[in-house]
Structure 1
Amino acid sequence: MKSCCCQTADAPLRVLLVDDEPGDAVVLEAFLEMQEGFQCVGCAANGEEALKFLSRQETPVDAVLLDVYMPGMDGIDFLREWQKMPYPKPKVFVLSAYGSFGEDQIRHQVLRLGVAAYFEKGYPLDLICKRIRDLCAVKNIESIMTPKRECVLEELSEELIDDLLPATKSVGRHYLMDALNYLTSSAQRTWRICEVYDWIAEKNGVSCKSVDRALRQMGKEIAHHGAQRWQRMTAGMELKDTSPSNKILLEMLKREVLYRERYLVGSHGEAGHGYEL
């Protein structure tokens, strides 16, 4: 399969909808077509139809918006097959029914399988489109990966996980544990670590090792201060280490904490919840 996120500045993002509910699919398709920079290239009623559609495309699909509960091949089984596809491949965004039975377990499972983001139905469609646009804009990791870099990043990721996983046990917000659980997935670990490191390093003109040091410091601060103190720090304070990489990490975490507080663990009056890594 060809590169999936290779569209030019003028080319729309090609999105495949996978949902067995015709009404939901029609609404999503109409909304996507109204958004600048998006093109709905097809609709599939289950995972099997989606895989067949992807295999027939000469022009690659950039993103798949996937339901979980479908007759035949459901979203989970589709993701297992999607994992086997060679890199690069379309990014997958899960859109699941709000309040479904076992939703927490489903969310954890799909994140472990490597989806780019998870949304509950009812989440604002304009924000879903923004997340798809932002995440599809991330440079494909294959274009910058070398055997030496892959080896180094694998070692860094192993050490980073060993350092941070115990620290997160004192944190009450499950999204931090989810993030570390995602990194420990053998199918995703190196690629995810590499994406994060390179994105931060490129943005700040620093090395991956500098980013690694900042991440370790972040883990120590989480372990030392606990969840509530850490959230207050990210809302208005800075760590002692003010290196460029650490500053951007703080800004990223501050934004994510505020976002998740509002949409993931907010009041029942919110329009819906979204989750991404």
Structure 2
Amino acid sequence: MTRPPTRWARHRARTALRRALHGFDVRLPSTHHGIAFTAHIKPRVFTAPPDHGTIDELAGAIRDHLREAAYDIAAECDPTDLATATDRCERHLASTRSLAADPPFEFAASLRRLELLHEDRAAVATLLTAQRRQAVADALRQQKTETLASQLADPAAVLAQWLERDGADWQQPPSREHLEDIAGRFAQYRPERERTPEHQLLAMLREFLASFPEPSQKRALYALLAAGMHRADRPQLAAKVETLLNGHASHTDSADSP
């Protein structure tokens, strides 16, 4: 019958394992193919080694587990943001892990260093330069599109644009209906920042209010909106709507007076 290890034997085994588990370097992938991190990982053990297997085998299994864990988290990290990548890898490696043993053998690791070698830093610099160049080009293109859409939302501007083109026949300009159709299409354009559900809802509300042209109808809608804001415990917004309602009523009354 095999005698269980003594407390002294377990202490010696744990000391031997800690000596065998020196820190090790590893190359880790990133979100950008071809750019890799270089990390130095230091394992930590929390329990006594299991009775079976050698110290070297156990140390190798621990390093394999930690390499796999580091690979998994680093592959989700952006090399252009080294600070965030370091924080994420540190937290991930610091969590307690275990090997299948009886009793379970627990360990973790600390990230002593996460860096980019010279070639990887050069690749990141090239990537950032390309990203900035692309961002500027995208911003200029977006600005041009928004400006053009804003200008051509007016039928007169559409006609002016048509007249400026080469070969325009001033004797046969587009019909008013055609100009209004084109202007209406441009008026529907919304920049990406205004394509949120909130902006879409505002557009629907404007369309809804515009469908009631009579002043009395608009006053009723304003009053209904103010009442809803009061019920929703938004008295300041309700007061603003009531101010608009009173101003609208004064304007229509003066317009109706002889």
Q: TM-score scaled to structure 2, two decimals?
A: 0.23
Higher helix proportion (structure 1 or 2):
2
Structure of higher CA gyration radius? 2
Q: TM-score scaled to structure 1, two decimals?
A: 0.21
